[in-house]
Amino acid sequence: MLPERALATVRKHDLIPAGTRVLAAVSGGADSVALALVLARLAATGALDCTLAGLAHLHHGLRGADADADQAFVEALAARLGVPCVAEREDVAARAREAGESIEAAARRARYAFLDQAAAALGATRIATGHTADDQAETLLLRLLRGAGLHGLSAIRPRNGIVIRPLLDAGRAEVEAYLKAEGESWRDDASNADRGIPRNRVRHELMPVLRAIAGPSVAGVLARTAALVRDDADELERQAIEMARRDVLLDGKSSGTRLAIAGLAAAGPALGRRIVRAALATAAGGRFHSLEHVEAVRSLIKEDAPSSVQVPGAVARRDGIAIRIDPAPDDAGVAPFEARLEVPGSVELPEAGVTIAAEVGQCPGDVARLESRGDRVALQGVDDTVLSVRSRRPGDAFRPLGAPGRRKVQDLFVDRKLPRSERDRVPLVVDGKGRIVWVVGHAIADEFRVTAPGERVLLLNVTRSGVFGEAT
């Protein structure tokens, strides 16, 4: 039974200490509804010495009446369980536009910020989410396809700070079977069928193939692999911290973090990358750094390497026997970039922290939604014989969708309140005639909007390294 499996997971990972007040994050979907019911049962029976402090639901402002019905459903569930419900509404689409990120990434950031506030309001010291073994398997596959290292392949952790996942060892089928046996209903989110979202493509296209090859238990097998990888990653992280303190980190009066070149060289690639990544995170305030960024800093241990490199938010310089890593000046941008984008095909842009893919096909789903989303767009009339993706240039201008006339890209960024330090990182997709067709994450050009949905369209999709579609 699901409650027993959840209890075993909680005990195995010590997720809920005695006397804990737990907030359940509930969207209305099967996983989160089952989570709330299981926690309520375990608390009521005394199997867990905890209190279900309440339910939290964030309305993302994306699905109109369906989202309103989701909120009403969760509020009714909380009333049945006799616990408070904290519900708020967020304009996630606007948030995504302002931040220049995908809808999925913006929703995740908004959701966890809201959950922190809800937990504080209800005096909860743990936030439970309904992630399952299927979510774990999908996350592992997504990160594997992006070439992630051990940390990324660890996928979803049972605990991350105060966030816990009591259902992580249970499969989605087991969750739904439990609800049906209990006579409980749940809400289905239509956006989960949108195959323009990479996670949904993995769920609906890749996972069925893997089940046909490896059997129905493949999600559990992948989840077990993620757990084994997590153990290895944690051990390497422990060793990296120990080595850094002993042989790599240098004390001194200079600003920034100083890494001993000899110690970093002796650490080798596996530990050295972890040491450099931690130093960059400290200097750059948590900005994402790709493998290319980390390796560029590690290359400074070589005598024939450049004396300094700049990565997002940080500058690394060879300084005698050490590499010094400092925060980048506020006005420091990134070097101009440009790359060819084949159709079909994809291109990775480390400078922008994104991968952009292109394909030709029929326009899927609602055209208006594709036109407004930050991560996937449909276009017509583009000269896609030679597409390129580049950083902005002085004088760049285009007519944004729905605008009365042409605008400078610079003015668009100012209106969107995009920080100056981020503007040179925003990729522009340009067609074979040199026309800007998409300012990625912000606006498509009006002249390339879809006017005949049943005819050929160019589909462009952006994946943001480290945040797109993570179920963490």
Average pLDDT over all residues of the chain: 87
Q: What is the percent of the chain where pLDDT is above 90?
A: 55
Choosing from 296, 327, 358, the residue where a domain stops is 327
**Residues 37 and 97 reside in one and the same domain:** yes
Does residue 59 share a domain with residue 11? yes
Q: Would you say residue 386 lies in a domain?
A: yes
Residue 232 in domain: no
pLDDT at 19: 93
Model confidence at 96: pLDDT above 90 = no
Does the pTM of the predicted model rise above 0.85? no
My answer on whether 29 and 166 are in the same domain is: yes
Same domain, 165 and 35: yes
CA distance 441 to 103: 9
pLDDT: is 71 or 198 the higher one?
Answer: 71
Give the distance from CA 8 to its chain's centroid.
28
Which CATH number does the domain housing residue 302 bear? 1.20.59.20
CA-CA-CA-CA dihedral for 189, 141, 99, 424, to nearest 10: -150
Question: Do 7 and 143 have their domain in common?
Answer: yes
Most confident range (mean pLDDT) of 175-179, 318-322, 441-445, 461-465 is 175-179
262 and 376 inside one domain? no
pLDDT at 100 over 70: no
Residue 425 has pLDDT above 70, yes or no: yes
Q: Mean per-residue pLDDT for 199-216?
A: 94
**Residue 136: inside a domain:** yes
Of 268, 200, 265, 198, the C-alpha closest to 239 is: 268
CATH (domain of 144) = 3.40.50.620
pLDDT digits (tens, 9 = 90+) for 237-273: 999 999 999 999 886 545 578 999 999 999 999 999 9
Inside any domain, residue 238: no
In a domain, 61, yes or no: yes
Q: Which of 327, 362, 377 lies at the terminal end of a domain, its last residue? A: 327
Is 307 in the same domain as 351? no
In a domain, 357, yes or no: yes
Whether residue 132 is predicted with pLDDT greater than 60 in this model: the reply is yes
427, 431, 426: which is closest to 343 by C-alpha? 431
pLDDT of residue 263: 95
- Say if 291 falls within a structural domain: yes
**Boundary residue ending a domain (306, 327, 348):** 327
pLDDT for residue 373 is more than 50: no
Per the domain annotation, does 226 fall within a domain?
no
Q: In the predicted model, what is the mean pLDDT of residues 53-62?
A: 92
Number of domains within the chain: 3
User: Does 150 share its domain with 182?
Assistant: yes
- Residue 59 · residue 87 · CB < 8 Å: yes
Helix axes 30-45, 64-81, angle to 10 degrees: 10
CATH of the domain at 440: 3.50.40.10
Q: Are residues 76 and 121 in the same domain?
A: yes
Q: Percent of the chain beyond pLDDT 70?
A: 92
Cα–Cα distance measured from residue 311 to residue 280, given in angstroms and rounded to the nearest whole number: 9
**CA nearest neighbour of 26 among 134, 115, 124, 139:** 115
Burial 138-147 (b: 16+ CB within 10 A, else e): bbbbbbeeee
User: Domain containing 47: what range?
Assistant: 2-211
